[in-house]
């Protein structure tokens, strides 16, 4: 298992460089993800059990339609009654929290990881992360990308094709590239 030093660093927002210990543990989760994606759709109990092993938590009556991809899986915490349509992509190098009653359309990406602008650091594969929080009863439309550090407030709706670069307050409709609040709900 990854040391607590790595766990803290991955969620700190500080620049880091991965080593072999991270890759070895990550392979365990990628194997679970492969099994999930290659389990027959009719085997719902088996798929649910795999998600229980893969994710940090997976709430009652939640469902993820395959195919599904994640850097880890274990850094994502999903509440109750969450529905995610096909092609959900989680770049969960830092924590992703998806609270109860969230709906996620097809082809959505939640990305906690990023790289520095400085070319010399990128050449060394430097990375830093910032957690994402999706509050209760949010609906994220198809082909939306949520970038590092974003919180989407309770009851809000993110329109299809949006690129969410900053926090979205509660009870609003927001969409666009970059995503912006259109009106209150």
* Rounded Cα gap, residues 119 and 182, in angstroms: 36
C-alpha separations of 183 from 41, 155, 167, 175 in Å: 38, 13, 15, 10
- What proportions of the chain, in percent to the nearest 5, are helix, strand and coil? 20, 30, 50
Residues designated as active site: 115
Q: Phi-psi region for residue 13, left (φ > 0), alpha (ψ -120 to 50) or beta?
A: left
Helices (H), 38-79: 44-54
Nearest to 71 by CA among 108, 107, 22: 22
* Rounded Cα gap, residues 159 and 142, in angstroms: 8
């Amino acid at each position: 298992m990854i040391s607590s030093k790595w766990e803290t660093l991955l969620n700190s927002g500080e620049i880091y460089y991965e080593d072999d210990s991270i890759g070895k543990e990550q392979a365990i989760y990628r194997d679970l993800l492969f099994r999930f994606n290659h389990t027959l759709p009719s085997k719902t109990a088996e798929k649910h059990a795999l998600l229980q092993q893969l994710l940090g938590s997976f709430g009652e009556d939640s469902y993820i339609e395959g195919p599904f991809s994640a850097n880890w899986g274990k850094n994502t915490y999903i509440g109750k009654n969450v529905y995610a349509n096909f092609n959900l992509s989680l770049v969960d190098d830092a924590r992703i929290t998806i609270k109860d009653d969230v709906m996620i359309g097809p082809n959505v990406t939640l990305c906690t990881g990023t790289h520095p602008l400085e070319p010399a650091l990128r050449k060394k594969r430097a990375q830093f992360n910032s957690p994402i929080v999706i509050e209760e009863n949010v609906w994220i439309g198809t082909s939306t990308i949520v970038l590092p550090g974003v919180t989407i407030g309770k009851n809000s709706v993110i329109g299809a094709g949006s690129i969410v670069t900053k926090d979205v307050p509660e009870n609003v409709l927001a969409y666009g590239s970059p995503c912006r609040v259109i009106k209150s709900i």
